[in-house]
Amino acid sequence: MTETTAPRLTTTAGSPIADNQNSLTMGHPGPVALQDWQLIEKLAHQNRERIPARVVHAKGWGAFGTLTVTNDLARWSRAKIFSEVGKKTDLLIRFSTVAGEQGAADAERDVRGFAIKFYTEEGNWDLVGNNTPVFFIRDPLKFPDFIHTQKRHPATNLRSPTAMWDFWSLSPESLHQVTILFSDRGLPVAPMYMNGYGSHTYSFWNEAGERFWVKFHFKTLQGHRHYTNAEAGEVIAKSRESYQEELFGGIAAGRFPRWKMQVQVVAEEDVAKFDFDPFDLTKVWPHALVPLEDVGIVELNRNASNYFAEIEQAAFSPSNMVPGIGASPDRMLQARIFSYADAHRYRLGTHYEALPVNTPKCPVAHYHKDGAMRFFDNFQRTPDAYYEPNSFSGPRQDPSVAEPPLKISGEMARHDHRVGNDDFRQPRALFELFDAGEKARLYANVAAAMAGVPEFIVERQLALFEKVHPDYAAGVRAALAATA
């Protein structure tokens, strides 16, 4: 924009500003006058430029794009997003690391968030997953404890390998995710070179009211690329923003990353075919048991024009579901359904869904009333319809989108989530997929991360690796000896 076309500078109230270089002073030299409302407004805004960072997934990178459906899913789900082959739905993806703060380096070994907001014609559907198909824990009561081990120690204010390995070695259900984290895929080169997973088991239901259990997969079409620890060290020495540079720069240059979206689906009554809990977030569904079916192609093709407004304020929540897609008995999912929306109300404000990036692209009509950011008008045709039921043509419920009922049996109790679970078989299946080079890097990565951890904790973790595979424990032990 040239100077001749530049708009006139104003205050937030629209009043034109005559001088944006000099404060209003009493004499020259002389003190600033309290009545300099232009200066006060500017300083006050600067003080409010930050909102609370996300407690987890604080550092992120995102872009907009589309899902194009390539396969007919109507037999499983009535969700409008899947209603016809060729259908395109707008979406936003925010990738992130989990533990680091907003200024953390991008190329750090960590799980990556892979959160997708699909702007469907029946509301926003958020699939808030990771680049790993499983998670460290299966019971949400342990989530704050787990995250505390990933964050700073209260006294040293440093990350604590002792806390991490103490927790993991006392939580055998973490073995699967720990093995992924310290494998090659634990340190992707950039977001476009990694897969995404919905991770939880969700449900589909169709027009006939039949329910299916479903897992979501997003396979990178750029190919997997990872850094070794040494390579990442070199990258971080040059740039802490390597992901933002690759993702933003690539899209700006017309290189649009793509993923193949796939699902694994089983009928509600077919859970009997699993010899493990199919709702356990520490487990995958083996492909040989439940094959992958194509859904479509996800492409990212537009950068945000304002990072803060569109990526930092993007609010993803597993509670954003649409008719045809629902929850499952995965207890981690229930906790996240509460926790994510609660986090957004805290960090963004009550009506965070009304922010442009979060606003659905379909009609919205509800009776929630006042509070922070109530900047939108009444949805009702008349302001008299501000409660429900009413006689003034206010929005009404639509029973046609009711989810089929789910039968639940069992006793309400704090059931021991570790009883009857095999925490070793699936990490073993993964370990056996690794070639010799991958195994050697796994051992070295684990050993490097254990630096300074007390012997008794290391030994407890080695005993768990031993149960996965004797070579795993022996390999890590040898790598520890080599670094001692």
Supply 161's token pair: 């390998």
Q: Is 282 in the site for ligand NDP (CB under 6 A)?
A: no
Q: Which of 242, 358, 426, 461 binds ligand NDP (CB under 6 A)?
A: 426
Q: Is 183 in the site for ligand NDP (CB under 6 A)?
A: yes
Q: Is 329 in the site for ligand NDP (CB under 6 A)?
A: no
- Pairing type for strands 258-267 and 60-69 reads unpaired
Q: Is 286 in the site for ligand NDP (CB under 6 A)?
A: yes
Amino acid at 33: A
Q: What is the largest CA-CA distance in the chain?
A: 85
d(CA 114, CA 137): 18
d(CA 196, CA 110): 14
Contact criterion met (CB below 8 Å) for 186 and 446: no
Contact criterion met (CB below 8 Å) for 57 and 340: no
Q: Rounded to the nearest 5 degrees, what angle is found at the Cα of 282, between the Cα atoms of 279 and 283?
A: 65
CA 241 vs CA 150, 247, 273, 300, 312: distances in Å = 21, 10, 45, 19, 15
Cis peptide before 389 (omega within 30 of 0): yes
Q: Is 188 in the site for ligand NDP (CB under 6 A)?
A: no
Q: Which CB atom, from 178 or from 343, has the smaller least distance to ligand NDP? A: 178
Stretch that binds ligand NDP, among 17-25, 200-208, 226-234, 285-293 (CB under 6 A): 285-293
- Provide the minimum distance between the beta carbon of 441 and ligand NDP in the complex, in angstroms, as a whole number: 10
Q: Which of residues 227-246 bind ligand NDP (CB under 6 A)?
A: none
Q: Which of 50, 75, 153, 287 binds ligand NDP (CB under 6 A)?
A: 287
57 carries an active-site annotation = yes
| Active-site choice (57, 176, 226, 351) | 57
Q: Going residue by residue from 97 to 136, which x/- string records binding to ligand NDP, judged by CB under 6 A?
A: ------------------------------------x---
- Provide the minimum distance between the beta carbon of 428 and ligand NDP in the complex, in angstroms, as a whole number: 8
| Active-site choice (20, 22, 124, 130) | 130
Q: Which CB atom, from 403 or from 438, has the smaller least distance to ligand NDP? A: 438
Cα–Cα nearest to 426, from 277, 226, 315, 271? 277
Stretch that binds ligand NDP, among 64-72, 225-233, 433-441, 476-484 (CB under 6 A): 433-441
Q: Is 365 in the site for ligand NDP (CB under 6 A)?
A: no
Q: Is 445 in the site for ligand NDP (CB under 6 A)?
A: no
Q: Is 430 in the site for ligand NDP (CB under 6 A)?
A: yes
d(CA 295, CA 71): 5
Q: Is 185 in the site for ligand NDP (CB under 6 A)?
A: yes
Which residue stretches of 12-150 are H helix? Answer: 37-47, 143-150
Q: For the residues of 187-201, what is the DSSP string, one character each?
A: SBSSGGGS-EE--S-
In the DSSP assignment, the letter for residue 200 is S
Q: Which of residues 464-483 bind ligand NDP (CB under 6 A)?
A: none
Which residue stretches of 312-355 are H helix? Answer: 331-347
153 carries an active-site annotation = no
- Provide the minimum distance between the beta carbon of 285 and ligand NDP in the complex, in angstroms, as a whole number: 6
| Residue 371 burial by Cβ neighbours in a 10 Å radius (0-12, 13-18, 19+) | exposed
Q: Which CB atom, from 109 or from 185, has the smaller least distance to ligand NDP? A: 185
Supply 86's token pair: 């060729």
Q: Which CB atom, from 97 or from 179, has the smaller least distance to ligand NDP? A: 179
If residue 91 lies in a helix (H) or strand (E), which one and from where to where?
strand 88-97
Q: Which CB atom, from 64 or from 424, has the smaller least distance to ligand NDP? A: 424
Stretch that binds ligand NDP, among 23-31, 201-209, 412-420, 429-437 (CB under 6 A): 429-437
d(CA 472, CA 443): 7
Q: Going residue by residue from 207 to 226, which x/- string records binding to ligand NDP, judged by CB under 6 A?
A: ------------x-------
Query: What amino acid positions are annotated as catalytic residues?
Result: 57, 130
* Residues in contact with ligand NDP by the rule CB under 6 A: 133, 183, 185, 195, 219, 284-288, 426, 429-430, 433-434, 438
